[in-house]
Amino acid sequence: MADAAMLRRFLSITILVGFLIWVAWYVRGNIEAFAPILDVTWLDGLNLTLAFLAIMIGNGLFISIVSSALGIRLTCREYTSLSFASSFANFFLPFRGGAGIRALYMSRMHSFPVAEFLSTLSIMYLMHSVINGLLALTGMGLIAAKGGPVDLSLTVFFGFIVVAGSAAMLIDFDLESANRRFPLAQLARFTRASRTLRGDRQSMFRLWLLMLVMALATVWQCRTAFHALSIPLPWAEVFVYAASKNLATLIGLTPGALGVVELVSIYLGSVLGYTTADALSVQGLIRAVAIVVLLLAGPFAILYLRRRLAARAPLRADSVDA
């Protein structure tokens, strides 16, 4: 375990340092290509902010629906704060620290077992993968329909994502056992939560629909960023770009997948028809808006959750004493 943690830390630092050095070198040699950033209007900035807020609210609603299906009721302020706090941690801490914040809060505040939390997290990632895989395939189909080039390797990759994610969602694990020793007890809780959630058809429909809306919000976000920088990218190509960006964020080796998303974006430029400078400018603009919003809202969200936990502690102590 220690060796694995050291390896991940090494990879994170290597990717971050290497990427930042390369970006500094590239920007210095192509500074004129980044001039359009100075022409971004306040209206474009507002649209980018609204798109990001829509994604954050959608993420909070996802947490709320999943929790409700498993018998835990979260207030609007609570699940919204969880969304902003976890995204804040994902952007500024390595290895998707936001998941740890949500798991810790749900465990201490609502006695929600970590194993069951991991089960809900896995379902979220699978839905995220399937929806964005389908979105990317839709974009590539539209590109092909208008006579544009089709990248076979990307088509196969997105198809594999959809098939593998769908298959994993359909697998019905049942590890209920009289043996309640570690790790069987934890695995049983993991599968029980997954089966309970997938058995709630109404909740699953709402989750699929919400995940689609969040993916389309990312399309809006990316389309706005390209438009703000006067980069002509048709809707079909934006579908592929946004879906690929969303899938790349699952690679949590660096804070906010910094460097990973940009490398994917640069690679897509050779397929979708934009330059490396365009890729860095678009991602830089999207990240700038996200960072500003999270710096303004994230600390307040974390403070609110900490206060709820602090208020909960005396109540738990009294119940133990009783």
Domain boundaries defined on the chain: 50-75+113-294
Contacts of 201 (CB under 8 A, 6+ apart): none
Query: CA–CA separation, 140 vs 131, rounded Å?
Result: 14
> Would you state the structure tokens that stand for residue 67, as one six-digit string?
């929790």
Query: CA–CA separation, 276 vs 17, rounded Å?
Result: 19
The CA-CA-CA angle for residues 80, 85, 86, to 5°, reads 100
CA distances, 28 to each of 59, 69, 247, 264, 276 (Å): 37, 52, 30, 21, 14
Q: What is the pLDDT along the chain (322 residues), one digit of tens a residue?
A: 556 667 777 777 888 888 889 889 988 888 888 888 888 899 999 999 999 999 999 999 999 998 888 888 889 999 999 999 999 988 887 655 777 888 888 888 888 877 777 777 888 888 899 999 999 999 999 999 988 877 888 899 999 999 988 887 777 655 555 445 544 454 555 556 666 777 778 888 999 999 999 999 999 999 999 999 999 899 999 999 999 999 998 887 777 778 888 999 999 988 888 999 999 999 999 999 999 999 999 999 999 999 988 887 665 545 444 4
